[in-house]
Structure 1
Amino acid sequence: MDHLTKLENKSIHILREAYANFKDLGMLWSIGKDSTVLVHLARKAFFGHVPFPLVHIDTHYKIPEMIEYRDNYAKKWKLDMIYGQNIEALASKNTFPHGNCSRLECCKLLKTEALRATLNGTGPRFRLNHETGKYEPEKNPTAFTGVIVGVRSDEEGSRSKERYFSPRNQKNDWNIGEQPPEFWNQYKTDFAPGTHVRIHPLLDWTELDLWEYILREKIPMVSLYFDKGEGKRYRSLGCGPCTQPVESTASTVEEIVEELRTGKFSNIAERSGRAQDKEDGGGLEELRKAGYM
């Protein structure tokens, strides 16, 4: 069995364990490469069907092409698609693009607080109606007790402290010191009532692993990852005002794989184009403790 197949098998095992052990389960989909690979793995794990909702936190400032890709992909594969927003913060213009708060404060409002309200069902959620092709307000939303996330340990420092099954409290707060050990592929899936659990099937994947898998599986990606003749492409996707492309002429998946194999970015953080990371001193641990993805 080759390296990618071993990674795939372990991720599929984690997905099936999550589905077997958590009643109200969802999967976060950021439209980026990690979570899109995760959707592909879920379709493989459940024979072409994703048996739980996909959840996107729409900050209103995502690059438009990402939203178009999300909706086209969800319609093509008949995915149960939900998005949540911090409508109050957007309506009051309490955002970084409006100049009324810092980037990190904006992330807290539009991502962390929106995520928390979306997951526990206290905030507005909008569900794709496949008959009309439109999103409609979800009636009587229930809380998700388990959420699958495309986090990788090599992507950013605080994420290396995660577990495959990582418990949070009812407010989604993360206590790093209270995570259970995971030895010899044994995972704790039995938690006290009220515990919110994040599941991370891609934890041991690297950036190169992802792109090699995308190449092998022919997974369609949003075109922002590829150079369009300007000598630039996005390596990590986020909100338009806070995400910058990197210098690169890679215009195909094959060229991205070759670029990563050469070590061009070996000393450059994958999220180096995310301005909010720099504002936080290079890490997102405090935001993540409060529930950030």
Structure 2
Amino acid sequence: MWASRIMTAQIRTLANPEYDTLTALESESIHIFREVAGEFERPVILFSGGKDSTVLLHLALKAFWPAPLPFSLLHVDTGHNLPEVLDFRDEIVERYGLRLHVAKVEDYLADGRLTERPDGIRNPLQTVPLLDAIAEHRFDAVFGGGRRDEERSRAKERIFSLRNGFGQWDPKRQRPELWNLYNGKHAPGEHVRVFPLSNWTELDIWRYIARDDIALASIYYAHQRPVYQRDGMWMTPGSWGGPADNELLETLSVRYRTVGDGSSTGAILSDATDNQAILAEVAASRLTERGATRGDDRVSEAAMEDRKREGYF
């Protein structure tokens, strides 16, 4: 099945010049995966079941096919994930026989290492479990699905992002990246975050998903769902709570552009049930998916920058 998909994608690429840009992006990402495999001892891929991490995993499998993937997966579970995404995550892990490490925010809340935030948003609480998992398993390279078009702090990130022994990002220690040459040198206890999708856009991601027929979690396509409006976003009720007394619960046709903590990730009104319809929506959009549907990025102007300095992104 995997071999036939790769061959089909290659035939489409040769037959249609529309895919030249995607082929170049794919080639760059595969090169990055192979560079990391050659430079580091214990890399890991952050995998949440979202569209970017699914594309990231698809590229990693391509990079080493027909050999098995030489990396394990890591998910920092907030406990507020949408059930469809967790089901999809587990299905992919089982399908390809992968090893998944799960660091749970719930465990840290239960034993007092973390405290629930007043606003109930758990995405900012992922930092400590992530850094503990990296230290426990001695991961020296951590692949993430961040893209430069998503948010301002991500726009200035390197593909190889050096982190100190506390997982923190220091702009003065980042290295130049010229001619696709990447410097993975790091001291004991330090690690490198690696972003193979840095130069991709949301539209590129969806074009690639359509080209390679990549399966995604069902919530990325339009479906009927109970939602309520809060701060300009369509939220769904769950274990994280909602709606409040003054918030009307309605059943509407929605889809998600990005996934994260259910208490801070909103849906958009949509009738797009296939990749081509989503491509048309994304092409017409003037807001990034994080800007449009991620409440945790609205906490402050520098919300993502703060999380990066603390060691999460």
TM category (shorter chain) comes to 0.7 to 0.9
RMSD value, Cα:
1.7
> Partner letter of residue 249 of structure 1?
D
- Counterpart pick for 2:210 among 206, 212, 215: 215
Q: After superposition, where does 1:107-122 map in structure 2 within 5 Å?
A: 107-109=123-125, 111-121=126-136
Aligned to 2:6: none
**Aligned counterparts of 1:288 and 1:103: Cα–Cα separation in 2:** 20
Q: Which secondary structure state, in structure 1, belongs to the residue aligned with residue 178 of structure 2?
A: coil
Q: After superposition, where does 1:24-173 map in structure 2 within 5 Å?
A: 24-48=42-66, 49-86=68-105, 87-90=107-110, 94-96=115-117, 101-102=118-119, 106-109=122-125, 111-121=126-136, 142-173=137-168
Give yes or no for the alignment of 1:289 onto 2:304. Answer: no
The question of whether the paired residues in 1 share the 8 Å contact of 2:82 and 2:262 is answered with yes
**Aligned counterparts of 1:227 and 1:72: Cα–Cα separation in 2:** 21
Aligned to 1:23: 41
Residues 222-249 of structure 1 show CA distances to partners (whole Å, capped at 9, x for unaligned) of: 0111111533211110111111101222
| Higher radius of gyration, 1 or 2 | 2
Identity %, equivalent residues: 38
- Counterpart pick for 2:278 among 248, 253, 256: 256
**Aligned counterparts of 1:249 and 1:90: Cα–Cα separation in 2:** 40
**Aligned counterparts of 2:111 and 2:262: Cα–Cα separation in 1:** 19
The question of whether the paired residues in 1 share the 8 Å contact of 2:108 and 2:129 is answered with no
TM-score, normalised relative to structure 1: 0.85
> Partner letter of residue 115 of structure 2?
N
Between stretches 12-21 and 112-121, larger displacement belongs to: 112-121
**Aligned counterparts of 2:302 and 2:187: Cα–Cα separation in 1:** 34
Aligned to 1:138: none
**Aligned counterparts of 2:100 and 2:74: Cα–Cα separation in 1:** 6
> Partner letter of residue 42 of structure 1?
A
Residues 255-283 of structure 1 show CA distances to partners (whole Å, capped at 9, x for unaligned) of: 1112222x2x22x2311211111112364
Give yes or no for the alignment of 1:4 onto 2:22. Answer: yes
Number of matched residues? 264
Q: After superposition, where does 1:190-209 map in structure 2 within 5 Å?
A: 190-209=185-204
> Partner letter of residue 158 of structure 1?
S
CA gap 1:286/1:147 in 2 versus in 1, 3 angstroms: same
TM-score, normalised relative to structure 2: 0.80
The question of whether the paired residues in 1 share the 8 Å contact of 2:124 and 2:307 is answered with yes
The question of whether the paired residues in 2 share the 8 Å contact of 1:103 and 1:276 is answered with no
> Partner letter of residue 116 of structure 2?
T
Structure 1, unmatched stretches of 5+, are 122-141
Question: Alpha-carbon deviation of 1:6?
Answer: 0.5
Question: Alpha-carbon deviation of 1:24?
Answer: 1.2
- Counterpart pick for 1:224 among 207, 213, 219: 219
> Partner letter of residue 245 of structure 1?
A
Question: Alpha-carbon deviation of 1:119?
Answer: 1.1
Question: Alpha-carbon deviation of 1:47?
Answer: 0.4
**Aligned counterparts of 1:94 and 1:191: Cα–Cα separation in 2:** 32
Aligned to 2:229: none
Question: Alpha-carbon deviation of 1:103?
Answer: 5.1
> Partner letter of residue 23 of structure 2?
T
> Partner letter of residue 29 of structure 1?
F
Larger helix percent: 2
- Counterpart pick for 1:176 among 171, 179, 196: 171
